[in-house]
Amino acid sequence: MAHRHFIIHKPFGYISQFVTNHRKKKLLGELYEFPEGTMAIGRLDEKSEGLLLLTTDGKMSEQVRRKDVEKEYYAQVDGLITDEAIEHLQQGVAIGLYGEKYETNTCKAHRLETSPDFAERTRKIRDERHGPTSWVSITLTEGKNRQVRKMTAAVGFPTLRLIRVRVGSIYLRELPAGAVKEVPDFSLALAESDI
């Protein structure tokens, strides 16, 4: 039987799983009737949104999780992020990871001069009375637990909203929150594609 592959815009409040012991958690299977054996490639935590790849092929999952495959995130942070903070992110920062200190790899990071055009989140972030926010793009080739959130906090700008917009050359583009799109294959897209 041929393997099947999907991209999804994971909404806020869902976990990147199909089963859980927590009855109140929202699962991916509530968004679409995926075939048996479908697995998420990597994860986005419950509060994170954006591009998630799913497949029935374990070998494809391994290809996508390679260390050289970039993952790009847009983070809305508390405050107007500074050039110094951006530079610190680029050079790597020390974050807490499982009770130890971990130094993140160098990465690509830059301030977004205009706010990205995403729909309002289902749960309000906060209002303008609490001060300004700004957006930053961070591109990683590693994926530690809650890494982007820990990185922005380490440079003094905690993440308020986090959206993954790209894996390799697969982009979220205009796919609305909660939408699922079946695609032919991920392997070519990791090199170059326009899925």
Q: Model confidence over 151-183: pLDDT tens digits?
A: 999 999 999 999 999 998 899 999 999 999 998
Q: What is the structure's pLDDT at 192?
A: 43
Taking alpha carbons only, the member of 139, 121, 17, 25 closest to residue 72 is 139
- Higher pLDDT among residues 93 and 98, named by residue: 93
- Greater confidence (123 vs 39) lies with 39
CA distances from 15 to 12, 53, 105, 118 (A): 9, 13, 26, 20
Is-above-0.85 flag for pTM? yes
**Which tens digits make up the pLDDT trace of 25-53?**
899 999 999 999 999 988 899 999 999 99
pLDDT at 172: 94
Among 45, 78, 117, 194, the active-site one is 45
Q: 48: which residues sit within 8 A by CB, 6+ positions away?
A: 10, 12, 162, 163, 164
57 as an active site residue: the answer is no
Full DSSP string of 66-106? STTS-EEEEEEEES---HHHHHHHHH--EEEETTEEEEPPP
Domains and CATH numbers, the chain: 5-66+168-191 (3.30.70.580), 71-166 (3.30.70.1560)
Check whether 144 has a pLDDT greater than 50.
Answer: yes
